[in-house]
Every structure is written in C-alpha cells, then in structure tokens.
Structure 1
Amino acid sequence: MSTVEEDSDTVTVETVNSVTLTQDTEGNLILHCPQNEADEIDSEDSIEP
C-alpha cells in the first residue's frame, strides 16, 4: 500500500466552500465549483470612496 509521500504522481486540489455534482442525460458526472465569493471579495476591494 502506498502513501501520498511515496506516490510520484501528485495532484494539487483547490479547496472551495461548496460544490455541485450533476449528471447529464448520457450519465456523465459534472462538478461545478462556484467562484462567487472570490468575485464578491474582488469587487469590494475595487470600490473607491
């Protein structure tokens, strides 16, 4: 049994607050990762007084 440290093929993942998993008519799984929170933070920073 291998551990993460022993694997030469590593994968980097991004942590998000919520994801939506859907399935189309052909049976394909689709993973949606909304970026709304990041956009809201950027828009707040760009607002000038």
Structure 2
Amino acid sequence: MELFDSHSHINMDVFAADLDQVLERSFAAGMTGIVAIGTDVADSIRA
C-alpha cells in the first residue's frame, strides 16, 4: 500500500528544528509523498 499525505503542515516552525528527521521517519514508515499546505502567501512560498 502506498501512503501519500495530501495535506500536511510540515513547513510550520514547530518542525523546523528537526524537519530532516521528520521526513526521514515519514519515508521510512512508507510515505511516498507529502504535500505541504500554506496558510497565507508567505507560508505558501515556504511550503
């Protein structure tokens, strides 16, 4: 089974310090893709 997160907020500041580890764990668990969602223009650019 493929897992694809179609609505994530991994671009939020709370994940900034360990984003690489968050992504590593996600893909190690079988995630095949992640879409980062922005909440405003600046956040969307960062996503």
As a proportion of its length, which structure holds more strand? 2
State the TM-score, normalizing by the size of structure 2.
Answer: 0.29
Structure number with the bigger relative contact order (C-alpha 8 A, sep ≥ 6) is 2
- Larger Rg: 1 or 2? 1
State the TM-score, normalizing by the size of structure 1.
Answer: 0.28
As a proportion of its length, which structure holds more helix? 2
